[in-house]
């Protein structure tokens, strides 16, 4: 073999020995970290393994963002008593319980075990707005009574009976124990697109005797048909109210109504004092009674009225004579007197009224003397924080007879918390009956403060115990008759209340 051929074979062998290694061979060589063209496939394989590991791994506890923990259902904010909704009367049976602000209607089978929200008997507004006679009070007023259903009728009852020991100091005062109070029953049912309501109210007052109980600076009516009562509060008649009313709705927010009573209460003044929440817990009558609300027992009343939203206007014809000394009977007389009242509840916490009345021959001991009266009042009631309840009254009345104009002012307030109630009243009265039937006008005043504690003895029955202290104020001309400018008074009482 020639030298040139040998050299050619050796060069070929050397070139094969140093030529680049194929890619597949490089993949199998240990320690090699060179980039590999098979990377996409490996990445896919790794992603599959990672997904498998994640699936097999226990689930991490859910965070609030991922899955909120189940909680108690959230209650929707209920409408405030300041603005109770007006029920749609087109879709509601007026004689049955209906939902209202903050309360639900309960089925008839509950028989009053729970509060049932209802509309008023005289119009499509909350029942809490109605008070004595046809008078209004704030929508947020406390509503007392036991309620049940019977057939198509809704039945209610409430009342209070006091046993009071009374001490009035000075020569014109006296000490006495006496019963007082009232028991009231009501029945109502739907009639047409309105409501028929029957109401009866009686009082144990006549048991105390015709002369009533000692109360300095009080006057009005007569004890025996001969002499007026002075420095004493007359008893109320046994029959305080026997009345019927019927209403028919006009649209969603209005109504027409007719009210009749023998006895009943005409459209004059604020609600009677034993119905005003601010002072209902006091066993003591106000000395301004015959300026503000003595018409709450009138033997013969017919009232027609119109309500539209938060406003009411009404006119009464009634027997204007004061009840006589016979407290157990029912009297009759001509409907010869007139009263007109405008009421307005601008908010759920307020009730305002202005009224005028003409009384034909009202006083038994002053025949032929007519009287005119004016009245204006503001009633307030509001729930406070922590279960406290505040109620108040500001009232003014004027009597005009034989060209004499005499005014009376009253301010009342109560603060309730659970079983305790604090109450107070301040009054200023221009009175012509303290020295004689036609005497001069004396401006006198009174301030009283009291408290009562109730103890629940049954579901709708409580027993209470309380007392009050009062200071009277009078001018120099009267001081010698009372042995001082500021005679004192006190009352202690126990009561049974159906609520």
Looking at residue 221, what is its pLDDT?
A: 83
- Among 209, 401, 203, which Cα is nearest to 290's? 401
Task: Report if residue 151 sits inside a domain.
Answer: yes
Q: How confident is the model at residue 118 (pLDDT cuts 50, 70, 90)?
A: confident
Tokens for 100, please give them.
């209202």
Task: Report if residue 55 sits inside a domain.
Answer: no
Residue 219 has pLDDT above 50, yes or no: yes
Task: Report if residue 152 sits inside a domain.
Answer: yes
Q: How confident is the model at residue 13 (pLDDT cuts 50, 70, 90)?
A: very low
Q: How confident is the model at residue 493 (pLDDT cuts 50, 70, 90)?
A: very high
Task: Report if residue 30 sits inside a domain.
Answer: no
**CB burial class (10 A; 0-12, 13-18, 19+) of residue 83?**
exposed
Q: What number is the average pLDDT over the span 150-173?
A: 95
**CB burial class (10 A; 0-12, 13-18, 19+) of residue 50?**
exposed
Q: How confident is the model at residue 95 (pLDDT cuts 50, 70, 90)?
A: very low
Task: Report if residue 73 sits inside a domain.
Answer: no
Report pLDDT digits (tens) over 291-328.
Answer: 999 899 999 999 999 999 999 999 999 999 998 889 99
Task: Report if residue 81 sits inside a domain.
Answer: no
In 10 A of CB 27, how many CB atoms? 12
Q: How confident is the model at residue 391 (pLDDT cuts 50, 70, 90)?
A: very high
Query: For residue 442, what are the β-bridge partners?
Result: 431
Looking at residue 396, what is its pLDDT?
A: 98
**CB burial class (10 A; 0-12, 13-18, 19+) of residue 433?**
buried
Q: How confident is the model at residue 47 (pLDDT cuts 50, 70, 90)?
A: low
Q: What number is the average pLDDT over the span 51-61?
A: 51
Residue 442 has pLDDT above 50, yes or no: yes
Q: Contact at 8 Å (CB) between 380 and 392? A: yes
For the chain, how long is the longest CA-to-CA vector?
175
110: helix, strand or coil: helix
Tokens for 24, please give them.
């597949």
Range of the domain at 310: 89-498
Mean pLDDT across the chain: 82
Q: Contact at 8 Å (CB) between 110 and 145? A: no
The CATH number given to whatever domain includes residue 215 is 2.40.160.10
Q: Contact at 8 Å (CB) between 240 and 274? A: no
Residue 23 has pLDDT above 60, yes or no: no
Q: Torsions phi, psi of 31, nearest 5?
A: 80, -5
Q: Which is more confident, 275 or 77? A: 275
SS3 string of 453-480?
Answer: EEEEEECCEEEEEEEEEEEEECCCCCHH
Say how far apart CA 390 and CA 277 lie, in whole Å. 9
Look at the chain and report how many structural domains it folds into. 1
User: Scanning the structure block, which residue is given the tokens 């025996």?
Assistant: 224
Report pLDDT digits (tens) over 240-285.
Answer: 999 999 999 998 899 999 999 999 999 999 999 999 999 999 999 9
Tokens for 147, please give them.
């309620």
Report pLDDT digits (tens) over 462-484.
Answer: 999 999 999 999 999 999 999 89
Task: Report if residue 124 sits inside a domain.
Answer: yes
Residue 42 has pLDDT above 70, yes or no: no
Query: For residue 181, what are the β-bridge partners?
Result: 161
Looking at residue 51, what is its pLDDT?
A: 59
Task: Report if residue 82 sits inside a domain.
Answer: no
Q: How confident is the model at residue 365 (pLDDT cuts 50, 70, 90)?
A: confident
Looking at residue 75, what is its pLDDT?
A: 37
Q: Which of 17-21, 300-304, 427-431 has the lowest mean pLDDT?
A: 17-21
């Amino acid at each position: 073999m020639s030298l040139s051929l040998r050299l050619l074979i050796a060069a070929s062998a050397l070139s094969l020995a140093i030529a680049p290694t194929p890619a597949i061979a490089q993949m199998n060589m240990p320690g090699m970290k060179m980039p590999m063209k098979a990377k996409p496939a490996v990445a896919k394989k790794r992603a599959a393994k990672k997904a498998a590991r994640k699936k097999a791994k226990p689930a991490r506890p859910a965070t609030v963002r991922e899955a909120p923990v189940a909680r108690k259902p959230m209650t929707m904010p209920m409408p405030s008593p300041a603005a109770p909704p007006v029920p749609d009367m087109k879709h509601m049976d007026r004689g049955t319980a209906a939902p209202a602000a903050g309360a639900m209607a309960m089925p008839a089978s509950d028989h009053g075990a729970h509060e049932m929200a209802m509309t008023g008997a005289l119009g499509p507004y909350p029942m809490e707005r109605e008070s004595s006679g046809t008078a209004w009070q704030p929508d947020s007023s406390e509503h007392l009574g036991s309620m049940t259903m019977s057939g198509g009728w809704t039945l209610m009852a409430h009342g209070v009976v006091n046993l009071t020991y009374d001490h009035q100091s000075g020569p014109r005062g006296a000490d006495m124990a006496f019963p007082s109070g009232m028991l009231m029953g009501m029945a109502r049912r739907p009639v047409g697109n309105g409501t028929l309501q029957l109401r009866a109210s009686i009082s144990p007052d006549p048991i105390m005797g015709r002369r009533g109980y000692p109360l300095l600076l009080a006057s009005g009516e007569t004890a025996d048909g001969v002499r007026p009562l002075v420095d004493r509060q007359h008893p109320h008649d046994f029959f305080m109210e026997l009345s019927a009313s019927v209403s028919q709705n006009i649209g969603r927010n209005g109504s027409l109504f007719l009210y009749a009573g023998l006895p009943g209460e005409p459209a004059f003044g604020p609600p009677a004092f034993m119905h005003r929440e601010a002072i209902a817990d006091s066993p003591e009558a106000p000395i301004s009674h015959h300026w503000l609300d003595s018409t709450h027992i009138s033997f013969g009343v017919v009232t027609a009225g119109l309500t539209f939203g938060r406003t009411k206007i009404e006119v009464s014809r009634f027997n204007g004579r004061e009840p006589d000394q016979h407290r157990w009977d029912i009297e009759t007389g001509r409907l010869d007197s007139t009263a007109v009242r405008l009421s307005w509840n601008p908010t759920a916490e307020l009730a305002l009224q202005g009224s005028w009345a003409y009384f034909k021959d009202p006083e038994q001991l002053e025949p032929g003397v007519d009287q005119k009266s004016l009245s204006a009042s503001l009633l307030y009631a509001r729930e406070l924080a922590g279960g406290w309840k505040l109620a108040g009254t500001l009232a003014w009345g004027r009597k005009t007879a034989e060209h004499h104009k005499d005014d009376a002012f009253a301010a009342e307030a109560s603060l309730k918390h659970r079983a305790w109630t604090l109450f107070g009243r301040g009054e200023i009265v221009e009175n012509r009956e303290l020295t004689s039937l036609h005497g001069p006008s004396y401006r006198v005043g009174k301030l009283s403060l009291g408290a009562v504690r109730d103890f629940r003895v049954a579901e709708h029955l409580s027993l209470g115990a309380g007392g009050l202290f009062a200071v009277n104020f009078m001018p120099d001309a009267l001081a010698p008759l009372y042995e001082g400018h500021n005679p004192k008074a006190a009352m202690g009482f126990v009561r049974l209340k159906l609520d």
